[in-house]
Structure 1
Amino acid sequence: MAPILADREHLMKVTVCLRPFRAAGPRLEVERFGAKTVVHNYGHGGSGWSLSWGCAEEASALARSGGGDEFAVIGAGVIGLTTALRLVESGTRVTIYANDFPAETRSARATGVWSPSSRVALADNTDAAFVERWKGWAERSYARHQQMVGLADDPVEYVTQYNLPGGSNPRTRPSRSYLALDRQLDVIGPRWTTLDGTNNPFGDEDVRSGPVMTFNVARYTDRLARQFLLRGGRMVRREFADRAEVLALPEAVIVNCMGYGARAMWGDDSLVPVRGQINWLLPQPEAHYALYYDAMSVISRPDGVIVQYLGPNDDWGHGIDNESVDWDETNLALSSLRRLFA
């Protein structure tokens, strides 16, 4: 197995993004402002890519329930793109308004793995009805993502992951009751196995291994944007100073897919940032696998090998809105990876 080359000279960039977390889960509902209808679709935590299609389907149904055929979508991240695409697929006229175009959004800086309940909500703030709603989002999304497997450029593929024991950064219990719902899904998916010491490439200890659905984010984003435009959608670069400017758009129905930006624009103080930092190593097509080791996630994608320190638990990054690079965090992740392959 080819080792991951984690020296600083292989580091091509470091990116930081803010996951939009709500303790009560994603906000997916209708709000009226006089003659305007706003459909909110934001607050997906670390599950935005995974839940995108299921939430887009529900949001587009809410938007079309009034009988209109012209819609505005605010935001060009994965939630905005999938929602706009679902709307335009129904034969309507759709314009995406966004200050950041798809490759510039926080979605473009995502880890890119199937993680439908990653920081999606807190158990203390949700009920059984939310869990059932989440299942619908996740199962519909999973089916749509699977349609992308095997297409040109592999926007979605299954990559073998190895979960390794050991390391110097043990996991601890978080202070919050984050929901962990993945095992409740009724989906057909590849199963994981345990590789004993003689059958795994990482030494003598047993390793859990199996395929993980991976989103090649750059390619997937480009595909979504191209499909939207080819179907007649429009994309306009626009920065809104306040909610009044959004409501002044000519479209009667507006779908708000602003992610963390919705906190200030729509006054949602329940929206909390969760900081995440990714270290991008040069692409290594010969090392096409993923691994988890020592509180660190590594995924080899066509657009680079992403290395992310995950912290001791899901509290890591909670409430931090600083998108500056933390070089100590970068050094911690890369040094841990180098030790693994030493």
Structure 2
Amino acid sequence: MIVVGGGVVGLTTAVVLAEGGRRVRVWTREPVERTTSAVAGALWWPYRIEPERLVGDWALTSLVVYEELARRPERTGVRMVDGVHLGIRPADLGPWAARVPELRATDDGDGVRARLPLVDMPVHLVWLRERLTAAGGVVEERTVADLAAVPAAVVVNCTGLGARALVPDPAVRPVRGQLVVVENPGITTWFTSVDDPAGDSAYFFPQPGGLILGGTARPDEWSLEPDPRIAEEIVARCAAVRPEIAGARVLGHRVGLRPTRPAVRLEHGTLPGGRTLVHNYGHGGAGVTVAWGCAREAAGLADT
């Protein structure tokens, strides 16, 4: 069995398959540390992902796993952190929200408070790779141009934005996100605000390597080069919430392309010769949030 794609969705799917007794290889175009997943801010939250009727269960399945992994944050990269989503009310959320421990309205009613998983992605991706290896799996750097040419009885397609050309699936589109990493001036909680019509927002996540500031959500933009003007605007929006951010030393810039789709594609298909193909892509800005739920469903499809 070969899983194509070495981001958080691909690695998590491979772990579930390998720990279920399957012999698994992951083919990834780039090292896991350089995938789109590696630059994610990575707060657990169903963000820019559909369909809503399925996302809740996938997300809650993943939440249970992350709560367990948070007992070993140095090893797994997962911590449980308090914070506020401004501009959201509990009534705006789906049924899944009632099952999130400690999620409640803020005192002024302008947002929700919650204690949620915050994932240090560079650490977490390496941990996933090591967990896969411990289960007998292998990660190989390979470029795939044709899913039908992958030499396996079961192929699991977790290529994210790459599915646009590989499947091909024109419904997969990039939504460009830009982040700024600054020296943390002592902030210990996360914060997000809802997007404005332009797709820009203010959010910050305290990670071990610095405070991650965001962000942007620009559809159909492909550039991976940080825009200095956008970076300045991100810092200014975050500093309007926490003024101490304004003087924080900038440590770096990140850009990632979220693989959005009208709905996640998680389904069974076939390849020439009657071989099994499982699609698991199109998770938008919530790949981390639903990774374990989608992985378990994909593993079930691989056995049908």
TM-score normalised over the length of structure 1: 0.61
Match of 1:141 among 50, 62, 78: 62
Change in Cα spacing, 1:137 to 1:157, as seen in structure 2 (3 Å) is same
The aligned residue for residue 229 of structure 1 is 133
Change in Cα spacing, 1:160 to 1:134, as seen in structure 2 (3 Å) is closer
The aligned residue for residue 257 of structure 2 is none
CA drift of 1:193 comes to 4.9
Does the residue aligned with 1:113 lie in a helix, a strand or coil? coil
Question: In the aligned structure 1, how far is the partner of 2:92 from the partner of 2:150?
Answer: 38
Matched, 1:159 2:81: yes
The residue identity in structure 1 corresponding to 2:243 is: F
Alignment of 1:18-167 (within 5 A): 71-116=1-46, 118-121=47-50, 130-153=51-74, 155-162=77-84
Give CA deviations for 1:244-265 in whole Å, capped at 9, x if unaligned. Answer: xx43333111101000001011
Alignment of 1:180-199 (within 5 A): 182-185=93-96, 186-195=98-107
Question: In the aligned structure 1, how far is the partner of 2:11 from the partner of 2:179?
Answer: 23
Change in Cα spacing, 1:193 to 1:135, as seen in structure 2 (3 Å) is closer
Question: In the aligned structure 1, how far is the partner of 2:175 from the partner of 2:168?
Answer: 18
CA drift of 1:291 comes to 2.2
CA drift of 1:283 comes to 4.9
Does the residue aligned with 1:119 lie in a helix, a strand or coil? coil
CA drift of 1:227 comes to 0.3
Change in Cα spacing, 1:261 to 1:164, as seen in structure 2 (3 Å) is closer
| Contact in 2 for aligned 1:218/1:303 (Cα 8 Å) | no
Give CA deviations for 1:98-145 in whole Å, capped at 9, x if unaligned. Answer: 1112111001111211122x1113xxxxxxxx5443333222222222
Matched, 1:238 2:170: no
The aligned residue for residue 187 of structure 2 is 287
Question: In the aligned structure 1, how far is the partner of 2:82 from the partner of 2:73?
Answer: 20
Does the residue aligned with 2:179 lie in a helix, a strand or coil? strand
Does the residue aligned with 1:267 lie in a helix, a strand or coil? coil
The aligned residue for residue 243 of structure 2 is 341
| Contact in 2 for aligned 1:113/1:212 (Cα 8 Å) | yes
Give CA deviations for 1:293-312 in whole Å, capped at 9, x if unaligned. Answer: 693101111122110034xx
The residue identity in structure 1 corresponding to 2:61 is: R
Matched, 1:303 2:215: no
CA drift of 1:322 comes to 2.0
Question: In the aligned structure 2, how far is the partner of 1:208 from the partner of 1:182?
Answer: 10
CA drift of 1:155 comes to 2.4
Question: In the aligned structure 2, how far is the partner of 1:94 from the partner of 1:235?
Answer: 9
The residue identity in structure 1 corresponding to 2:182 is: L
| Contact in 2 for aligned 1:283/1:302 (Cα 8 Å) | no
Change in Cα spacing, 1:237 to 1:109, as seen in structure 2 (3 Å) is same
The residue identity in structure 2 corresponding to 1:296 is: A
The aligned length equals 233
Change in Cα spacing, 1:303 to 1:182, as seen in structure 2 (3 Å) is farther
CA drift of 1:207 comes to 7.8
The aligned residue for residue 267 of structure 2 is none
TM-score normalised over the length of structure 2: 0.68
Change in Cα spacing, 1:164 to 1:144, as seen in structure 2 (3 Å) is closer
Question: In the aligned structure 1, how far is the partner of 2:17 from the partner of 2:165?
Answer: 26
The residue identity in structure 1 corresponding to 2:237 is: S
Q: Which is higher, the Rg of structure 1 or of structure 2?
A: 1
Alignment of 1:10-21 (within 5 A): none
Question: In the aligned structure 2, how far is the partner of 1:136 from the partner of 1:209?
Answer: 21
Alignment of 1:242-261 (within 5 A): 242-243=145-146, 246-261=147-162
Does the residue aligned with 2:232 lie in a helix, a strand or coil? helix
